[in-house]
Amino acid sequence: MDFIVAGFIKALELLISGDSSTWTAVWATLKVSTCSMLLSIGAGLPCGFLLGYFDFKGKKYLRTILDTMLALPTVFIGLAVYAIISRQGPLGDFGLLFTLTGIAIGQTILAFPIVTAITASTIENIDHDLKLTLVTLGAGKRHIVTTCLWEVRYGILAAAVTAYGRVLTEVGISMMVGGNIKYHTRTITTAIALETNKGLFADGIALGLVLIMIAFIVNLSLSFLRKQ
């Protein structure tokens, strides 16, 4: 039991003393997960809107594919991205392996289906009368689209939070593509995995606390935004 208590004490020490390896891992995590969340929203929002708003042939199959992608294991994404951005792979010339950019690519693939699926279902659930009312009021196509998007803003916010939670906590992609390089691509989750492997639970618990705190702050600020 002692080491768990010691872990909490160590956690506070590391954070307060501004330990550089802890804080660079925190910073790397924030950078990469924010970046991949934004990229996935940028790509997922329009896709989700199209999928939810329009009815077309084969939509059902597309949804099935999307739902399958929701279950993509991070190690598989890690493996695929690794193979593609390794020097021997098709995108090898960019030298993206063992960089935060590489991790961001993998995490975007992870978060994209989440954003798309949540956006699509919120759009689908819009009151059908809204569209009719808008049409009767003589609104233009563009106006209808923006009004619909505004109506589902909380749904989109939920998509963003869910996506952020997923990329913030994943370890498979960060480990395989990032290589867990100290001061560079070591994120909070890969650092925890490493410390546990080394039997240093205190450092692991410290980083775990930070991770939970970040998740808490993100959710808190979003709920604040919602109240505005």
Q: List interacting residues with another protein (CB under 8 A).
A: 30-32, 34-35, 38, 86-88, 92, 95, 97-101, 104, 179-184, 197-200, 225, 228
Q: What minimum distance in Å lies between the beta carbon of 223 and another protein?
A: 13
CA angle 132, 137, 140 (to 5 degrees): 85
Hunting for tokens 């999307």 — which residue is that? 66
What are the structure tokens assigned to 142, written together?
Answer: 């563009």
Q: What minimum distance in Å lies between the beta carbon of 131 and another protein?
A: 26
Of 178, 176, 187, give the one whose Cα is nearest residue 25: 187
Q: Which is nearer to another protein, 53 or 98 (CB)?
A: 98
Of 72, 42, 44, 78, give the one whose Cα is nearest residue 189: 78
**How far is it between the farthest Cα atoms of the chain?**
70
Q: Which is nearer to another protein, 83 or 145 (CB)?
A: 83
224: three-class secondary structure by DSSP: helix
Q: Which is nearer to another protein, 35 or 118 (CB)?
A: 35
Q: What minimum distance in Å lies between the beta carbon of 84 and another protein?
A: 12
Q: Which is nearer to another protein, 87 or 143 (CB)?
A: 87
Q: What minimum distance in Å lies between the beta carbon of 31 and another protein?
A: 5
Q: Mention every residue, 6+ apart, whose C-beta is less than 8 A from residue 83.
A: 89
Q: What minimum distance in Å lies between the beta carbon of 220 and another protein?
A: 14
Q: Which is nearer to another protein, 120 or 175 (CB)?
A: 175
